[in-house]
Structure 1
Amino acid sequence: MFVGFSYYVFWNYCVDDYLRIGESTTLKCVDKFTRGVISVFGPQYLRKPTTEDIERLLQMGEARGFPGQYVRGDHGKPTVMLEAVASQDLWIWHAFFGVAGSNNDINVLNQPDVFNNVMQGRAPEVHFSVNRTEYNMGYYLSDGIYPEWATFVKSIPMPQGDKRKLFAQHQEGARKDIERAFGVLQSRFAIIRNPARSWHLDALKHIMDTCIILHNMIVEDERATYGGTFDYSYDHLGNGPTAPPDDSNNDFQEFLRRRHNVRDKQIHRQLQQDLIEHIWERFGHENIHI
């Protein structure tokens, strides 16, 4: 009864007239509801990708010509921004929510939790091959504002030649996953679409996190209708063997090496070129004239 009541209060603004609940009580209900959802369901539905998730994401990416990829984007209003990472099935894997004036596309990258696990050696291993070249680091499809890091694959502005045109077409098409994910998120939860000037930033973050958790729950429940053939079993979550701690991960030199690898421009350019060739090899016969 409490959950259903809180759910109703959470999604409706006009509760004063209908339920005779004061504004302060409504705000407390929203706060308790969001904190409860995050506490109970956050570890599963706001988790970082596990090894099994990585394997499935690799399969999903390979089917579209982008093995090893995620989709990164941002959506914001004049004062608050949401930067998110989503996959083709609309699952939101990461979300940064903050004030846009001090957090834009570039300096959000310096936030500790974006690439912290990669740089400290705690992220699941990623291995894939593109154009007969082996890679051991996942990457994000992103727009042109992001830097030339090994972890980003950007489109090509004004591409010349059929191969580059086809690559840009596929990259920009796959990148629309983030637009779809955010559009579905907004359509499901009106509280995200409406003005939020009266909310404190911490409360807004809790609301956004709660909406993403509920969104991912729905995605998990509806995946069977998507027509994919991927394994979405999560019975193993939290039950797999834990790797023993590696003291070398705390070594500063090792951290610097990983940081250098993440920001390696040469790998960035090589990966983009390999993907251009890979996509042309797979889909070029379908698009001889673009």
Structure 2
Amino acid sequence: MSFFRKLLKQRQQHSQEDAEMMDAMVMNTTMMMAHLDNSDEPQGRGSRPGRSPNHPRNRVSGGISLMADYFIERPIFRAEEFRRRYRMHTHLFNRIMTKLCNHDPYWHQRADATGLLGLLPQQKMTGALRMLAYGAAADQCAEICRMGESTTLECMKKFCQQVIHHFGGEYLRAPTETDLKRLLARADQRGFPGMIGSIDCMHWEWKNCPTGWHGAYSGRKGRPTIILEAVASHDTWVWHAFFGVPGAQNDINVLDQSPVFEGLIAGNTPTVMFYANGRRYSNAYYLADGIYPRYSTFVKTIPNPESQAQKLFTKKQEAYRKDVERCFGILQSRWAIIRHGARLHRSSTLKNIMIACIILHNMIVEDEFVEEEYVEPEEEDLLNPLAARVYDGPVDPQGVRIPFLPVERDGRNQHAFWDRIDHLESAYIHNLLQNDLVEHNWTLEANQQ
């Protein structure tokens, strides 16, 4: 019994010591809190005294004013002014806003913890578009959008990401068969059968490039830039965009990394059959400047034309190749953020901005560009061997080797893969096609006179 009595006595002593320790801790905490309450130094975080209060931006009244300016039935500013400031018509703006609101509650107007209503989706999208359209800094949009700098930046980044996600598959795609027929019909009228666009590169200056990356991104002009490779058609629609290569590289290095010919090499693209000077070809081509290699898919100008036929071809090639240059000019004029130096620090964010601007540009082109609707040719026109057309069946080889068979998944036709690469990089076919187009345009010019 003496053992259990001793054990019980020890437990009582420990309990008493724990209770005294707890009382001392409570007393010390109480004294510390009293000292903090009487202290003049700012303590704590959040909304406690000493922290900077939230700036009252009158979000609700600002949203009502913005709606009255642009988005009610009879707004203060006309539709022409909305188009100039937002770079698009109201119905296209509403289409984008509806898509974003249906898929992400971030764009909804919500109440905060105090019950105050937040920003309207029109305010958030206006802040994002003003940054893209005017190249404005985030804090420059506070007057019209009633948003802080960090909120405006967040809206712009989310807007670009979600435009790419929701609209990229439709508005930044390879040409479908219907698109190819329309492009080929236009190219035939211009004297370049089989041409589906022009290819070139554009540099975007990176003002806030990290210091350690300056060497890789600084090109001949000595300033850090990032390169965009694009393919554009006569209506300035961008069919291919590859962005992110450091500016110290040239157009050939960009082409080596670009996926522009992936579908052609894999055998997944439709075969385009056309005739030039009586010779049959099967691959569509792009107009390019002198730096690009002599591939069968490029038609370049003649540096020193001698005959009248060569001078005519050079004049027309250099004129039509300006389609992509004109597209770059429209992009930089419409979205000033890519005309001025980029102020953001992450290359991934800059890529989202560039691709989103191109997608929005294509959406505006589709909405506003007026062109004669493509009409399927009559049955007798299909017999015309000079008309370029999309061809999806086998052809007997004649002149140039055409067409290519797609690579099968089991690898049984792997030799066709290398045949396609050889055909793509053939300088002989490039020279042959160039000479045939010279004669083709000279014949057209003679027939028109």
Task: Identify the TM-score tier after normalising by the shorter chain.
Answer: 0.7 to 0.9
In structure 1, distance between residues paired with 2:358 and 2:259: 17
In structure 2, the residue matched to 1:67 is 193
Where do 1:114-125 residues align within 5 Å? Answer: 114-125=260-271
Alignment check: 8 A CA contact 2:198 2:286 kept: yes
Where do 1:4-15 residues align within 5 Å? Answer: 4-10=122-128, 11-12=130-131, 13-15=136-138
Letter of the structure 1 residue corresponding to residue 293 of structure 2: P
**Residue 184 (str. 1) matches residue 311 (str. 2):** no
In structure 1, distance between residues paired with 2:429 and 2:181: 22
Query: 2:250 aligns to what SS in structure 1?
Result: coil
Alignment check: 8 A CA contact 1:65 1:282 kept: yes
CA drift of 1:80 comes to: 1.0
Alignment check: 8 A CA contact 2:344 2:350 kept: no
**Residue 198 (str. 1) matches residue 344 (str. 2):** yes
Alignment check: 8 A CA contact 2:245 2:254 kept: no
In structure 1, distance between residues paired with 2:257 and 2:365: 27
Relative to structure 2, which stretch is displaced further, 209-218 or 167-176?
Answer: 209-218
Query: 2:231 aligns to what SS in structure 1?
Result: strand
Query: 1:113 aligns to what SS in structure 2?
Result: coil
In structure 1, distance between residues paired with 2:344 and 2:161: 19
From 316, 319, 327, the equivalent of 1:173 is 319
In structure 2, the residue matched to 1:237 is none
CA drift of 1:112 comes to: 5.3
In structure 1, distance between residues paired with 2:284 and 2:410: 19
In structure 1, the residue matched to 2:71 is none
In structure 1, the residue matched to 2:423 is 261
Relative to structure 2, which stretch is displaced further, 76-85 or 155-164?
Answer: 76-85
Query: 1:89 aligns to what SS in structure 2?
Result: coil
Query: 1:106 aligns to what SS in structure 2?
Result: helix
Alignment check: 8 A CA contact 2:272 2:283 kept: yes
Query: 2:184 aligns to what SS in structure 1?
Result: helix
**Residue 146 (str. 1) matches residue 292 (str. 2):** yes
From 160, 163, 168, the equivalent of 2:306 is 160
Where do 1:1-290 residues align within 5 Å? Answer: 2=107, 3-10=121-128, 11-12=130-131, 13-16=136-139, 17-18=142-143, 19=145, 21-69=147-195, 70-76=197-203, 77=205, 78=223, 79-101=225-247, 103-111=249-257, 113-224=259-370, 226=371, 228-230=372-374, 247=408, 250=411, 251-284=413-446
CA drift of 1:108 comes to: 1.9
CA drift of 1:82 comes to: 1.3
In structure 2, distance between residues paired with 1:249 and 1:129: 34
In structure 2, the residue matched to 1:235 is none
Residues 75-128 of structure 1 show CA distances to partners (whole Å, capped at 9, x for unaligned) of 114411111100001101011112334642112222252111101101122111
CA drift of 1:21 comes to: 3.2
Alignment check: 8 A CA contact 2:124 2:152 kept: no
CA drift of 1:220 comes to: 0.8
TM-score, scaled to structure 1: 0.87
In structure 2, the residue matched to 1:239 is none
CA drift of 1:15 comes to: 4.4
Query: 1:60 aligns to what SS in structure 2?
Result: helix
Alignment check: 8 A CA contact 1:150 1:267 kept: yes
Judging changes above 3 Å, is the alpha-carbon distance between structure 1 residues 159 and 207 closer, same or farther for their aligned structure 2 residues?
Answer: same
Alignment check: 8 A CA contact 2:138 2:153 kept: no
Query: 2:343 aligns to what SS in structure 1?
Result: coil
**Percent identity over the alignment?**
47
In structure 2, distance between residues paired with 1:216 and 1:151: 24
Larger Rg: 2
In structure 2, the residue matched to 1:238 is none
CA drift of 1:14 comes to: 4.3
CA RMSD of aligned residues (A): 2.3
Alignment check: 8 A CA contact 2:309 2:439 kept: yes
Residues 17-51 of structure 1 show CA distances to partners (whole Å, capped at 9, x for unaligned) of 42453333222211211111111111110011111
In structure 1, distance between residues paired with 2:260 and 2:189: 26
Query: 2:268 aligns to what SS in structure 1?
Result: coil
TM-score, scaled to structure 2: 0.57
Alignment check: 8 A CA contact 1:126 1:136 kept: yes
Count of aligned pairs between the two proteins: 274
Judging changes above 3 Å, is the alpha-carbon distance between structure 1 residues 6 and 258 closer, same or farther for their aligned structure 2 residues?
Answer: farther
CA drift of 1:246 comes to: 6.1
In structure 1, distance between residues paired with 2:258 and 2:243: 14
Residues 132-159 of structure 1 show CA distances to partners (whole Å, capped at 9, x for unaligned) of 1111101110000011110110001121
Letter of the structure 2 residue corresponding to residue 280 of structure 1: W
Query: 1:191 aligns to what SS in structure 2?
Result: helix
